[in-house]
């Protein structure tokens, strides 16, 4: 995930969405700082800060 977030910073992308359609995927992504999109259920999002490693 650090590589993804680093690439996002390099490309000036602030937010990413992932699909997590099973409990294990949701648990993994939540542990990486992603949050469930209340309207979409299986979609999680994460906003990358400039300081995040």
What's the pTM? 0.65
Q: Which residue has the higher pLDDT, 9 or 17?
A: 9
Enumerate helices (H) and strands (E) in the chain, giving the number of each. Answer: 2, 3
Return d(Cα 46, Cα 38) in angstroms, integer.
Answer: 13
- Express each pLDDT in 27-50 by its tens digit: 998 999 888 877 666 777 888 887
Q: Which residue has the higher pLDDT, 41 or 9?
A: 9
User: Tell me, what's the pLDDT at 41?
Assistant: 65
């Amino acid at each position: 995930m650090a590589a993804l977030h680093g690439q996002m910073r390099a490309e000036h992308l602030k937010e990413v969405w992932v699909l997590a359609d099973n409990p294990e995927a949701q648990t993994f992504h939540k542990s990486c700082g992603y949050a469930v999109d209340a309207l979409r259920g299986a979609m999680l999002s994460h906003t990358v800060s400039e300081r995040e490693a």
